[in-house]
Amino acid sequence: MKEITLIEAVNQALMYEMARDENVVVLGEDVGVNGGVFRATVGLSEKFGPERVIDTPLSEALISGMSVGMSVQGLKPVAEFQFMGFTYPGFDQIINHASRMRNRTRGRLSCPIVYRAPYGAGIHAPEHHSESTEALYSHIPGLRVVIPSSPARAYGLLLAAIRDPDPVVFLEPKRIYRLFKQQVPDTGEALPLDQCFVLREGKDITLVTWGAMIHETMQVAEKLEEEGIEAEIIDVATIKPIDMDTILNSVHKTGRCVIIHEAARNCGVGAEIAAQIAEKGLMSLLAPVQRVSGYDIVVPLLQLEKYYMPSVERILGHVHHIMEYA
């Protein structure tokens, strides 16, 4: 079986679901003829035609709003924004209409939409191309927010998101779009939403993360193993709603927790996880919960970007700090 990258897994999932369900349509800027800014939709227009793979004008408000209209009329739109920082003009339609439609109509209508966007830093791009503002969307009732961290999870979670009857914000960490490959069987098998994935089991410390930061966190676990420290790694995957049961069970076992994300620290998703651990798992803790995050600034340009993002060294420093607690 051929190994594929994360971006190829996104394409494979779109291909599968469009062939399976004729109500699935793809829309966005340059998704048709050009195959998408990162090539996620390459080949779709040739296979399914311009009526189902729609090149839109350069208007994110139009993309988000048109998706709402399509979805309440029985279609299942998968809308692509070229970068997460470009989603903000569409924010009005997403939070005022897509997220509220089921409640507003008392269940008579829903919005089965997937809003896809590459997100995160690490490719030396300008500020709006490097946003990690997942917390904005995770605060909105009625939205799911899903972030894959590998080709296999991108494939299975995207299938699940398209099949979900409510709107899903699907954020793809572009730094790892082509970083590594996996075998991803094209079976159409979805992965469960609203569930963390335990990527590595350990007894000494819990490392909680998602998206591209899985890459650095796995490296940290390997270095800790050389020191005789067994780290458990949890990929949150769905950050709204958060599967706190899996996280709390791990913290109960290890007694220590470090949360890693590249988004700005203030009011980040890591703060919500830390708060829930304090509320529901305080008596299991042997040390204070630590957060390793980006800084409360706009992502800096070019070479300064690497100082903004959590590094293996920064994560290790926090781990060593809380391992000193008795």
pLDDT-derived band at 300 (thresholds 50, 70, 90) equals very high
Residue with tokens 């189902």: 52
String of DSSP letters for 80-92: EPSSGGG-GGGHH
**18 pLDDT more than 80:** yes
Asked about 129 being catalytic, the answer comes back as: yes
In the chain, the percentage of residues whose pLDDT exceeds 70 is 100
Helices (H), strands (E): how many in the chain? 12, 14
What is the chain's mean pLDDT, rounded?
Answer: 97
Is the bond leading into 241 cis (omega within 30 degrees of zero)? yes
What are the residues whose beta carbons fall under 8 Å from the beta carbon of 69, sequence distance 6 or more? none
Which of 97, 129, 215, 261 is the catalytic position? 129
Q: What percent of the chain has pLDDT over 90?
A: 95
Structure tokens, 173? 């960490």
DSSP three-state, residue 116: strand
pLDDT at position 151 is 98
* Rounded mean pLDDT, 1-16: 96
Q: What is the model's pLDDT at position 301?
A: 87
Tens digits of per-residue pLDDT, 22-59? 999 999 999 999 999 999 999 999 999 999 999 999 99
Domain assignments of the chain as residue spans, ordered by start: 3-183, 197-323
Please check the confidence at residue 326 and state whether its pLDDT lies above 80.
no
Measured CA to CA, the distance from residue 157 to residue 193 in angstroms comes to 7
> What digits encode the pLDDT tens for the residues 168-199?
999 999 999 999 999 999 999 999 999 999 99
Tell me the one-letter amino acid at 268. G
- CB-based burial label for 296 (10 Å; 0-12, 13-18, 19+): exposed
Q: What is the pLDDT of residue 127?
A: 83
With 0.95 as the threshold, say if the pTM is over it.
yes
3-183 shares its CATH topology with 197-323 = yes
Structure tokens at 202: 């350990």
Residue 198 near residue 230 (C-beta atoms within 8 A): no
Residue 259 reports pLDDT greater than 90: yes
pLDDT of residue 153: 98
User: pLDDT tens, 89-113?
Assistant: 999 999 999 999 999 999 999 999 9
Q: Give the integer Cα–Cα distance in Å for 231 and 133.
A: 27
Length of the chain: 326
Cα separations in angstroms, 95 against 59, 89, 91, 285:
17, 11, 6, 37
Q: Which two tokens stand for residue 140?
A: 């909105």
Joined together, the tokens standing for residue 299 give 């992502």
Q: Does domain 197-323 have CATH number 3.40.50.920?
A: yes
Q: CA geometry: angle at 272 spanning 158 and 114, to 5°?
A: 20
pLDDT at residue 7 in the model: 98
Judge whether 237 and 192 are in contact, CB under 8 Å: no
The residues, ordered by sequence, that sit 6+ positions from 240 with a Cβ below 8 Å of its Cβ are 137, 138, 140, 143, 144, 145
Q: Where are the alpha helices (DSSP H) in 54-168?
A: 60-72, 91-93, 101-104, 134-138, 151-163
Closest to 160 measured CA to CA, from 174, 177, 173, 146: 146
Helix (H, G, I), strand (E, B) or coil at 20: helix
Q: How far apart are CA 43 and CA 14, in angstroms?
A: 10
Question: Which three-class secondary structure state does DSSP give residue 275?
Answer: helix
Cα 146 to chain center, whole Å?
4
Cα separation of 266 and 260, whole Å?
A: 13
Query: Is residue 115 classed as helix, strand or coil in its secondary structure?
Result: strand
Tens of pLDDT, residue by residue over 205-251, are: 999 999 999 999 999 999 999 999 999 999 999 999 999 999 999 99
Check: CB of residue 273 under 8 Å from CB of residue 259.
Answer: yes
CATH architecture of 3-183: 3-Layer(aba) Sandwich (3.40)
Q: What is the reported pLDDT for 126?
A: 84
